[in-house]
Every structure is written in structure tokens, then in C-alpha cells.
Structure 1
């Protein structure tokens, strides 16, 4: 779920072309309406399907899913689960759109990030999982993740992981410069100034323009810039929450307090390891990235709640996704069984062991999970911080039904703000204009 800005930009044209045909279907309403009134399949139907030799295909870049598939096959030997990595994020989405347009060639299931679910659900390209009675599983998951997979009254995924936002900070660096953990954005900015003044090579964070992070910080600040109701889309990147975020972040940009290092580059990893990048504002999944990519800094890092304007808890989500069922699947009953296994059964336990932060309510309420000490983070019980963050996620956020395209052009419109060539709010305004223009081209009514 990392920043893939350069990859997104290279796929924008292809994806945009595919979206044109698909999004226009959404405005017609026929597929969406039929998806909202699915015919029911019983549990007996699913069990019967598992006793029939079947191969289901899953497109996913998840490192844990092959292990989940292997475990499922052992329990259901007549089912073969073929996991294929056809690309990460936008690469896979482009191939999915091409298969949808062709009417054939797609998988039975595919990993789709929560932010991209509306793009595929609204045109009727996904199966409403209520057809299998899976809407009855709502209480098994957290509200924040469940809300992310409910679109227009339909259920299009069972949550698998969550990405509650948190502040990852290098305690070793903070201690060296006598900096307290910031609870407010004013304190965060003050810490940034103190760090950079003490060592010009040290920065509070790195951000060259990250659309996902920007949306998460707007969300946590109370912004609700996007609204979707059928084929009507509202875009307001000047609302109070967005302006609050932009005003705060502009101070970091004006004083050049953010490292110019490109995220996910070798230099970025080196900066995190050496302490030249002292914090990360990210989803819970970042803990796995630090452990694998910055192993030498084990014991240096800690986790704290996301800073807020007034110090009162307020959070959002960054990243996360699950498996969606493609409407063109010819093995929907067997696919439904595997999808449920991956999110609620032993498969979810396997994914959790690989570093995925769980979306299941019972796990997040377990003292064994909450009290687990993480040696990488100095023995801190980091799961408590992430779980509290998930509970503090502000409700009501919506993604655009073409969020993948929106993300792909973010740097083209807002990127100059991160180099000091324009103000952040001006960049967001330019992004809004392009998003409105593009939405109208796709057949949406833009407010």
C-alpha cells in the first residue's frame, strides 16, 4: 500500500481510457441496479460447490495469499486456487479494466484496495456479496473497514486488513534532541524546526507529493472533499477540513522542513535507518516496511497517535484492501468460499502473521493481540495504538469513483507545492478542476 506515484503516472493514460467505457456504464444504472438486488445462494450451495473439481484464479500482489491458498486447498482438495501476480496496484487495475471491457479474461477474485472499490463496484463489474449472505458477517469486522467495502447499498468485499493512521517516530533521534512526542500539529511543526535547526541534514519527514497521504491527512482533519450518490459526484477541496490540513502542511513546506528524498528510494530507506528522516505519518502496515527495509534500526522506532489540531483523538485510514469477486467469474460459489476463508477463517490468521493489520473485531478486542510486545519498537505494545486509531477514524469519508485516476494525476497538479513553486491550496484547487473535468468526461454529474 505504499506510494506508487511514478508508477501511477505511467499508467494514467491506459487506465483513463479503460475507465471511460466503464464509468459511463455506471451512469446508465442497469448493472448497478441489478447488483443491488442479487439472487441468494445458500450455505448448502457453497458446500456443494466445494465438492466439485474447480480451479479459481486470483489476481493479487499479496505476499501472504499463496500461503492462504495452499491452506485452503488442503481443507478442500477438490478446489485449486491459482494465485497470479499480474502487477501491483494500478498495473493490475489496468488489466482488470481491459478484461472487463473485453468481457472475458479476468480472474474470479482480485485484490482491490478500499480506495479503488467504488471504481469497480459502481459500474456493476463486481459481485454484490450479499448474494451469498455475507452481509450477515458485519459484526465480525470494524466499522471503519466495513464502511469501506459498502458501496451504494452493496457489499463488495469482506475486509481483510486495515490501515489506521499513526505517527511512527525515531525515539533515538527525539531523545538526542530532547523532543517530546507531538500530540498536536503545532507541536509537530515545532519539533520539525528544532530538528532541522540542530542538524540541517535531519528532517521531520519526507514527502515529495503523496496523494494517498494527502487524502488521509485531509480525512483526519475533518475534510470531506468527495461525495458520491449514484452518478452525481461532488468535489470540494476547499472545505474546512481540507483548508485546515493545507494551512498546517504549508508551514512545513514554507520552512523546507520536509526531506526532498523520494519515498521508497534507496536514499529514503537510508534516511530512515540513519535517523535523517525522523517520523513517518502512515498506516499500520508501515510497521512491516520498517522491519523488512530498516532492520538495522530495530529498537529505535516507536508508534504514537496521529497528531491533531487540538490534541483530541482524530484519525483516518491509509491503505488496506481485500478480495473482490469479478462479475465475469464462472466459479462464483467456490470463489465465495475462498474469499470468506481469506477474511474470516484460518486464512485471515495466516495473513496476520505476515504483518497485515487485522480488520476482525474479535482480534482487535483480544488482550493477547493488544498486549503483544513488539521488539522492533522497543517492546512497545503497538497494537494498542493502532487499534485505538482505528476506533478514532472519522466517519463519512468517500472516495471518488475514479480514485485511481485521481491519484495518478496528483503530482501533475499538486506536485509543485512540494517543491515550493506554488501554495498547497492552489495545487489542490487545480487538482479539483481537473477531477471535475475528468468526471464530466466520464458521464458523471459534477457538483
Structure 2
């Protein structure tokens, strides 16, 4: 496997054991066969996978699926790291956030799906999601869903504030934020690490890169033009009390403010409609969705904010059957429809061009009731265009999970005014550089 010395980015003692785990598949002559009875183990935290397993097993009666929820995102990664380090208990398939995928690919934990013909599926997915699984010349997963960014706003509050036209540039967004604040609401809350990265991406930034051999990384937040654009804007808005820094995203108070209009805007992934219905049902009919503001008049640039892929673990001895499951989940029309019906936003071009999907004006709640949340707007038309506008080429760090875990201790400290956003970014970069060196990477800072 490649770069076993970087396996310490998973857990401190995993390098040697991860080598043996990967070696188990390389030394095996049996990569799995879908025409013989076989059971595969799949780790995934999303409930939308559950009904699709039944569809898959009906279409593939010789393949049984053991679906395991090993924890949400980082909790699953910890469990997976422990399994890789021990060389046992490794699933055949696992769900990964796009931002975490490269970390496991560089360490040799994932199987290149090119040998199964995965590269032929490129045109079935949006450029942004395909870019996220196409790593270092191989295909290390298939896109399951996506999160192109969009601007969700409370039209009732905007009308009250005198914001009669949706801002299309960041200058207009800043002016709208002042009017919304004067009306007693906020247009945004303080960002988390995922949002921060997405905004750098949307600004055309490229602060991170990793060499094809996984030996060196570039960490250049302080010198990156896109990072500076966003940091400067956010600092200006923080200084003028245009961002609510007191409310934590996904908290009960955040939900309440979405519902009562205290929070009148969200810059977030396209998976948000179902969450809005669940989090702020009392605001039904008041919200709308628009394209993200851009840095230049007439721009269309966008970024991803969330989404995940299914990947086959390199240690799997049932890789053929495992790939058939991955392909079915991400490419079968019935499987996709089931997951989209459960609230996932699609990554496939077929759904994003489907007339029924594009014409939808209601959002299903948890009981299956259709809610007119966006005032009759064909919201998926906006979100589908947002997916087309995602720019390619943004890179995450090969230890992105760690990078995001220390965001609050560095950049987020600027939200209380004790330091500037720019200083927080510098502190974050210093910690990332130190961590990269500790893991054995050669680091470039420019």
C-alpha cells in the first residue's frame, strides 16, 4: 500500500497494523463474487440507506447486506481507524464525507474502483461530486449525495427590512445584512469549519494541496487570495454586529430563531429543505432559496457544503460484491429516488434534470406530509442550478477531520472579538503546519 508512514494520521499506532490489514486483501486471490452467496458489511450513519438495502437484496439475491451504524461521521471514523489499526472488524463498504475521503485514500485504506469500470460513470454525476471521488488518478468511491451551497432567506423578514431584491453579490449581501439587522434580525450566524472551507472554495481559493505520492502538503491559508476575500468580508460583518455569534448552529435556540425570524438567512448546502421543515415548521411559507452571492457581478461560482460517498475498503475480500452494492446505491434510479425521498440531495445528473424533481414545490416532513415551505417556489430548480455552478479543483487536507476538529480553538475565537478573523486563520495555519510535520509530511506554506 502507499504511504504507510502517514497512517499515523488515523491513530498513533496504526501504521504497521494498517499495512497488514491492507496486505490481507492484496495477498488474497478472491476479491469476492456476486454470483455466489456472500454477505457484506456496510458502515453508514444515514437512515436513508435502510430502505435501499431491501431494494438491493431483491435485485441481488445472492448478496446479503449487514448494515451497521458505527456512529455519526467522526465517531465512525474513530471506529474505522481502530479496526484498521487492529487489522480486524473492517467493513467491506463505508460511508465517507467527501472531505474525509482523501485522508483514507492516501493511506491506502480504500480500493481503486477503476478495475470495476467506475470511471465509465463520470457523466452520471455532477462535476463537484465526481471531483471529490476522483483522487490521484483513481476512483475511490461513488457519490451518494451532494451539498451545493445556496442562499436560503426569510422573505417576510427581508420584505420588512426593505430588502426587495435578493443580493447577487457579496457587496449587496453586506448591504442587505445591515438592513436586516436594523429590522431586528440577523442574516447569518458564526460559521463552522465546513462553512469556512466552503466559502474559501466559493471565493476561488486553493489554500491546500497534497502531492500525488502523499508525501508533501501545501498549507497556505494566510497567502491564499480566496481565503483573504472571505476573511475580510466576515471580519467587517463581525465588527458591525451583522452576524449572530451567540447562537450555535443546530442548537435549540438556532431552531427557534429560524422559526421566529430572528435569523433570516442561511448560506448552506442544498440538503437544508428537509432540515428546515423539521427545525422550524412554524416558518412554513416564509422562506425562499436563491443562488449564492458571488464576488463579481454576473458571477456563478459555487462550492459544495456537505455530501458523502460510499467506498470499498481495500481490506475487503468481497470487493466485487461490495462494489455492486456501492454502484446500486449511487446509480440505481429506484435507490436514488428512495434516498432523495428521505431528504438527501442528489449527486446524479439524471435526478437533477428530472422534470418531476425540478417542479417540486413542497417538502415532505418526517410523517410524509407535503409542506409548502417555500411559498410555491420550485426550489429544486434553484438547487439543481447551484449544483451545476460548483467549481472544480478545490482540495482538502489529507487530515481534514483533524483540521476541522481544531477550527473552534483557533478561527472561531475571532467571533467574540478577542482576535481578528485574520489572526484566527494564522493560528489555524500554524497548528495545521505543526500537525502535518508531526505526521511526517513535507510542508509547503506558499
Q: TM-score, normalised by structure 1?
A: 0.89
* Counterparts of residues 177-196 of structure 1 (less than 5 Å): 177-179=161-163, 180-196=165-181
Q: Which moved more, 1:16-25 or 1:378-387?
A: 16-25
**Offset at 1:145?**
0.8
Q: List per-residue Cα deviations over 1:367-408 (Å, max 9, x = no partner).
A: 332232233211111122112212221221000000000000
Structure 1 counterpart of 2:199, from 217, 222, 245:
217
CA contact 2:8–2:15 (8 Å) conserved in 1: no
Say which is worse superposed, 182-191 or 401-410, in terms of deviation: 182-191
Secondary structure at 1:372's aligned position in 2?
coil
How big is each residue's C-alpha offset from its partner over 1:262-299, in whole Å with a ceiling of 9 and x where there is no partner? 11111000000001000010010111210222122111
Aligned residue runs from structure 1 range 284-433, under 5 A: 284-311=270-297, 312-345=299-332, 346-374=334-362, 375-433=372-430
Q: Secondary structure at the match of 2:186?
A: coil
Q: Do residues 65 (structure 1) and 49 (structure 2) align?
A: yes
Which residue does 1:9 correspond to in 2? none
Indicate conservation of the 8 Å contact 1:25/1:123, yes or no. Answer: no
Question: Relative to structure 1, is the Cα distance of residues 305 and 22 closer, same or farther in structure 2, using a 3 angstrom cutoff?
Answer: farther
Shift of 1:146: 0.5
Cα deviation, 1:161-180, whole Å, max 9, x if unaligned, reads: 11100000011111122213
On the 8 A contact 2:209/2:219 being kept in 1, the answer is: yes
> Between Structure 1 and Structure 2, how many residues are aligned?
419
1:11-62 residue CA offsets vs partner (Å, 9 max, x unmatched): xxxx987345557999x9xx79x99xxx999xxx98xx33422221111111
- On the 8 A contact 2:97/2:307 being kept in 1, the answer is yes
How far residue 88 of structure 1 moved from its aligned partner, in angstroms, is: 0.4
Structure 1 unaligned regions, length at least 5: 1-14
User: How do residues 131-280 of structure 1 correspond to structure 2 at under 5 angstroms?
Assistant: 131-179=115-163, 180-199=165-184, 202-207=185-190, 209-229=191-211, 230=213, 231-238=215-222, 239-259=224-244, 260-280=246-266
Compare 72-81 and 287-296 and name the one that shifted more.
Answer: 72-81
In 2, the alpha carbon distance for the partners of 1:96 and 1:66 equals 20
Higher helix share: 1
Q: Which residue matches 2:366? A: none
In the alignment, is the contact (CA less than 8 A) between 1:20 and 1:442 conserved in 2? Answer: no
CA contact (8 A) 1:195 1:204 kept: yes
Q: Distance in 1 between matches of 2:16 and 2:441?
A: 8
**How much does 1:141 deviate?**
1.1
- Which residue matches 2:367? none
Give the CA deviation at 1:365: 2.3
Deviation at 1:234, TM superposition (A): 0.4
* C-alpha RMSD over aligned residues: 2.4
Inter-CA distance 156–21: structure 2 relative to 1 (3 Å threshold): farther
How many Å separate the matches in 2 of 1:385 and 1:109?
33
Distance in 1 separating the partners of 2:127 and 2:193:
24
Question: Could you tell me which residue of structure 1 aligns to residue 10 of structure 2?
Answer: 18
Gaps of 5+ in 2: 1-6, 363-371
Structure 1 residues 311-338: Cα deviation after superposition (integer angstroms, max 9, x where no partner): 3211100000021111122321211111
Moved more, 137-146 or 367-376: 367-376
Kept after mapping to 1: 8 A contact 2:9/2:439: no
- Counterpart of 1:99 (choices 67, 72, 83) is 83
